[in-house]
């Protein structure tokens, strides 16, 4: 594991850390402790299952519509005030998120390395952490990731699950022993990975390479090393915020075709077409 790259600290606000060449911004203390406590209370008021042993997800805003492959205009869950209240403070105001997934992660749980679907969501991806800190692992994607995303059955399933509910993908991966699609980064890839501590109440913004080219993950383990100290993990909450692309906006021309779902679909279509031609020539 490498050390995280050194951030640039915003001169006007030392809570804002930026890695401009990667496309990462981390804002410490983005919400207050009071807001954090209110969020946790609101989250559990909505979900009676308060037991801290299992993952809980709540979805707000526009749902994903599998018939139009875009944002559903009819299936919408009102966004609670504890989210709408901080939207005016997001660093990019020109394109605010309209889809929100609030999740509770029991202490010690992880998320396997993945790249969020490119084509269905606008560039800016946000993750607000609260309740507890966690270390997130970043790694530039490589041939292994590209290969995994092209496993026919697997990639379709991943995409659907991930778009619909990130937790479903996570559970599938974690509970499938012997499945050769489980990420097994080779040594070279492992060397390039590094962790960034996301403190409670911090906001992470991913754009550019961090959004399109890097995988992000949370290693399942009981502790994190924060400022040189081993700290036990506690239950963590996160709000993933995305902007769902509308019909004409769906697509991607990023610089990372290896892990780009739009490119993979094009490849598959070309492959299917060439197979069709082969079949046709055989019949002649």
Binding site for Zn ion (CB under 5 A): 118, 252, 254, 260
- Nearer to Zn ion among residue 111 and residue 260 (C-beta): 260
Nearer to Zn ion, 58 or 155 (CB): 155
Buried b (16+ CB within 10 A) or exposed e, 153-176: ebbeebbebbbebbbbbbebbeee
Smaller CB separation from Zn ion, 47 or 267: 267
Smallest separation, CB 115 to Zn ion (Å): 9
In angstroms, the first-to-last Cα distance of the chain is 57
* Chain position whose Cβ is nearest to Zn ion: 260
**In the complex, least distance from residue 53 CB atom to Zn ion, rounded to whole angstroms:** 36
Local structure of 81: helix, strand or coil: helix
- Shortest spacing between CB 186 and Zn ion, in angstroms: 23
Task: Please identify, using beta-carbon distances, which residue of 166 and 209 lies nearer to Zn ion.
Answer: 209
Tell me the H-state helices in the chain.
Answer: 33-46, 81-84, 143-149, 152-164, 166-174, 187-191, 208-212, 261-283
Going 177 to 179 to 183 to 187, the CA torsion angle's sign is positive
Query: Considering the complex, what minimum distance in angstroms separates the CB of residue 257 from Zn ion?
Result: 7
Q: Whole-number minimum distance, CB 34 to Zn ion, in Å?
A: 39
Q: Given the complex with Zn ion, which of 162 and 233 has the nearer CB atom?
A: 162
263 to 149, 158, 216: CA distances (angstroms): 11, 16, 20
Query: In terms of CB distance, is 107 or 254 closer to Zn ion?
Result: 254
Task: Give one word for 251, left, alpha or beta, with left for phi > 0 and alpha for psi -120 to 50.
Answer: left
- Tokens for 256? 């990372």
The CB-of-141 to Zn ion minimum distance in angstroms stands at: 11
């Amino acid at each position: 594991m490498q050390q995280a790259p050194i951030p640039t600290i915003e001169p006007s606000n030392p809570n804002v850390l930026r890695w401009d060449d990667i496309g990462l911004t981390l804002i410490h203390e983005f919400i207050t402790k009071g807001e954090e406590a209110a969020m946790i209370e609101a989250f559990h008021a909505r979900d009676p299952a308060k037991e801290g042993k299992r993952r809980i997800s709540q979805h707000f805003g526009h749902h994903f519509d599998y018939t139009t492959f875009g944002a559903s205009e009819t299936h919408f869950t009102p966004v609670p005030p504890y989210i709408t209240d901080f939207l005016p403070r997001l660093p990019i105001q020109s394109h605010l998120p309209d889809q929100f997934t609030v999740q509770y992660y029991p202490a010690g749980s992880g998320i396997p390395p993945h790249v969020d679907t490119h084509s269905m969501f606008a560039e800016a991806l946000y993750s607000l952490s609260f309740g507890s800190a966690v270390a997130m692992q970043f790694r530039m994607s490589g041939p292994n990731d590209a290969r995994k995303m092209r496993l026919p059955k697997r990639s379709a399933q991943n995409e659907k699950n991930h778009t619909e509910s990130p937790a479903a993908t996570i559970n599938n991966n974690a509970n499938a022993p012997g499945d050769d699609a489980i990420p097994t980064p080779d040594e070279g890839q492992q060397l390039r990975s590094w962790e960034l501590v996301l403190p409670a109440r911090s906001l992470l913004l991913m754009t550019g390479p961090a959004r399109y080219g890097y995988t992000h993950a949370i290693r399942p383990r009981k502790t994190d090393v924060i400022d040189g100290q081993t700290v036990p993990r506690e239950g963590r909450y996160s709000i993933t915020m995305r902007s769902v692309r509308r019909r004409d906006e769906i697509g991607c021309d990023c610089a990372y075709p290896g892990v780009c779902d739009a490119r993979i679909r094009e490849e598959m279509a070309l492959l299917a077409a060439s197979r069709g031609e082969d079949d046709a020539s055989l019949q002649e």
